[in-house]
Amino acid sequence: MAPNDKAGELKPAFPSSASIQATALWYVAPRECALNAEALPPLGADNCLVRTLWSGVSRGTERLVCEGRVPEGEYGRMRAPFQTGDFPFPVKYGYCAVGVVEAGPAERLGETVFCLHPHQNRFVAPADRLTPVPDAVPARRAILAANMETALNAHWDAGSGPADRIVVVGGGVLGLLVAWLAARLPGAEVTLVDVSPSRAELAQALGFGFALPADAPTGADLVFHASASPAGLATAVASAGYEARIVELSWYGEGTVPAPLGGAFHAGRLQLVSTQVGGIAPSRRPRWDYGRRAAAAMALLADDRLDALISEDIPFAEAPARLPAVLDPSWHGLTAAICYEAGP
């Protein structure tokens, strides 16, 4: 169909999105994935058809999904925006997709966009749920946008400031992004604490210090905990200075977590607060909406050093076979990126 010049009018690249078959990744049983075909819904006037280029695997959340360990009481809150199916299985899950608009409102055609959509080679989504990817951010790196948004929101909840002494416990992708943001504060002294010595070189490249748990700094003004382990939480408490704030980013899933609330916790008048990306931090809520926060997080990804947070590329066709290993606790990488160019 030849395009016309009326801004906002639908310009489909295909006769109807309902005639297009897509392929999606499903979690179908504990540690078992499958690719399933599905027909796309009709393309309404306010929707876009997106051809996926990359999607990111969120190791913390998707590990719980893959292992069937989403707590029953959290089924509603854990739903991804475009999830299909119900926990525990089968479920189509994921929220880090980047692609190109192939059909939709004229002003969006050809645009590279990010969407909180499961792993799928083509999908239909409302235009207002698509975050533009700036030219300064490669499509592959843009899969980190959801993690960056979480890190940004955590700093808002924490009240981070210039010259603060900041400790981040847990050197996964989220902890690294939190530390990277902290290191951009003027005069801030930032230390990443992790059990893996291999994180030291990456921390140096990203502009902040590194320590093993045994050498973690003490007397911090602010501590972020992102290791999702009781030992990490104990390290975070031990690192906090008098009346300091400990910001908990970890999502533990099922079970209870021992917390060291004796000893120095009360004597030091410490604060232990949660942060969660599902709600905008109260300090920004009167002026910010989700769209503004998503755009800000995306713009922050314009740093080539952040490519180091993506450890492995997986062709979409190989995802069912390779994802269980990536989501296993023994995997030592950071983020796996699913590539769709050679996929089904």
Cβ atoms of residues 226 and 169 within 8 Å: yes
Question: Does some domain include residue 200?
Answer: yes
Half-sphere exposure of 192 (CA within 13 A, CB side): 33
- Tell whether 205 and 105 lie within a shared domain: no
* Beta bridge pairs of residue 112: 100
- Tell whether 129 and 36 lie within a shared domain: yes
- Tell whether 267 and 316 lie within a shared domain: no
Distance separating alpha carbons of residues 288 and 281, to the nearest angstrom: 9
Q: How many domains does the chain have?
A: 2
Strand residues in the chain grouped as ranges (E): 21-29, 32-39, 47-57, 84-85, 91-92, 97-103, 112-115, 122-126, 131-132, 165-169, 189-193, 209-211, 220-225, 240-248, 271-274, 310-315, 335-339
- Tell whether 169 and 97 lie within a shared domain: no
21 token code pair: 């078959």
Question: Does some domain include residue 141?
Answer: no
Question: Does some domain include residue 294?
Answer: no
- Tell whether 152 and 132 lie within a shared domain: no
242 token code pair: 């008098």
Q: What is the CA radius of gyration of the chain?
A: 21
Tens-of-pLDDT digits for all 344 residues of the chain?
333 333 344 444 444 555 789 999 999 999 999 999 999 999 989 999 999 999 999 998 999 999 999 999 999 999 999 999 999 999 999 999 999 999 999 999 999 999 999 999 999 999 999 999 999 999 999 999 999 999 999 999 999 999 999 999 999 999 999 999 999 999 999 999 999 999 999 999 999 999 999 999 999 999 999 999 999 999 999 999 999 999 999 988 767 888 999 888 999 999 999 999 999 999 999 999 999 999 999 999 999 999 999 999 999 999 999 999 999 989 999 999 999 985 44
Domain that holds residue 261: 147-274
β-bridge pairing 32-39 and 21-29:
antiparallel
Residue 179, domain CATH? 3.40.50.720
- Tell whether 151 and 130 lie within a shared domain: no
- Tell whether 124 and 157 lie within a shared domain: no
Cβ atoms of residues 50 and 115 within 8 Å: yes
- Tell whether 219 and 238 lie within a shared domain: yes
- Tell whether 58 and 132 lie within a shared domain: yes
237-254 burial: b if 16+ Cβ within 10 Å, else e: bbbbbeebbbbbbbbbbe
Residue 325, domain CATH? 3.90.180.10
121 token code pair: 């080679």
Question: Does some domain include residue 235?
Answer: yes
β-bridge pairing 271-274 and 240-248:
parallel
- Tell whether 169 and 90 lie within a shared domain: no
Cβ atoms of residues 57 and 27 within 8 Å: no
Cβ atoms of residues 210 and 169 within 8 Å: no
Question: Does some domain include residue 51?
Answer: yes
Question: Does some domain include residue 318?
Answer: yes
Q: What is the pLDDT of residue 122?
A: 98
- Tell whether 115 and 181 lie within a shared domain: no
Question: Does some domain include residue 38?
Answer: yes
- Tell whether 107 and 215 lie within a shared domain: no
Distance separating alpha carbons of residues 226 and 250, to the nearest angstrom: 5
Question: Does some domain include residue 205?
Answer: yes
